[in-house]
Each structure stands twice: as structure tokens, then as C-alpha cells.
Amino acid sequence: MKIYHNPRCSKSRQGLAILQEAHQDPEIINYLKNPVSFEELRDILNKLGIPAIDLIRKNEAIWKEEFKNKNLSETELIEAMITYPKLIERPIVVHGDKAVIGRPPEKIKDII
């Protein structure tokens, strides 16, 4: 089990706490310090069953300044998240061939 985690995000901290309370010991990936690869992010999207646009934090300044109102392909959206990892919604928990975005954090219980 992995959690893509931003320790500065309250929802991400709550998600990690839910896993720990359930006696899970996930691999914690601070994706801001250790960015994910293109293939890894594409794999996460496949496990989530969503298009890349649904994983993007659209209220981030970088999104509004650089990408909003542009018609970007799936590949371009993934590349934007790799270049600017703050754009990735968090937390994401991956367990086997399934994944969930912890928004709200209680959704993480669905994957435990």
C-alpha cells in the first residue's frame, strides 16, 4: 500500500492517520520532494479509473496562470502534473490494482 502524501496538507495528514489507525503501514511518498514518473502517474490514473483532468487541483495558481482554458491532451495534462506536482490532488492511496483519492479522507476506508 502506498500513500502519495503532502505533509503540509491537512486532508493528506488525515488520510495518513486513517491508515495508521487501521494498522496499515503504507509506503509514504512525498510526491513534492520525489516527483512521480510519467508511467507511474498514468498507472495511478488507470487504477483510479479517471482522466488526468480529474486529478488536477484547478484552484492552484499555476493551473490558472499556465493551463486554464487550454485544450490539453491526456499526455500534456500528465506532463503538467509531473512538472508542477502541486497540481496533483491529494492524498492518493494505492493498494494493489486499486486507488482512491482521499477527498474526503474517509474515502480511504474504501480501499483498506
4, 8, 9, 103: which one is catalytic? 9
- 62-66: list long-range contacts, CB under 8 Å, 24+ apart: 62/86, 62/87, 63/87
Cell of 55: 486529478
Peptide bond into 104 cis (omega under 30): yes
Indicate the residue type of 62.
I
Going by the DSSP 8-state scheme, the letter that residue 24 receives in this structure is -
**Active site annotation includes 9:** yes
Catalytic residues: 9
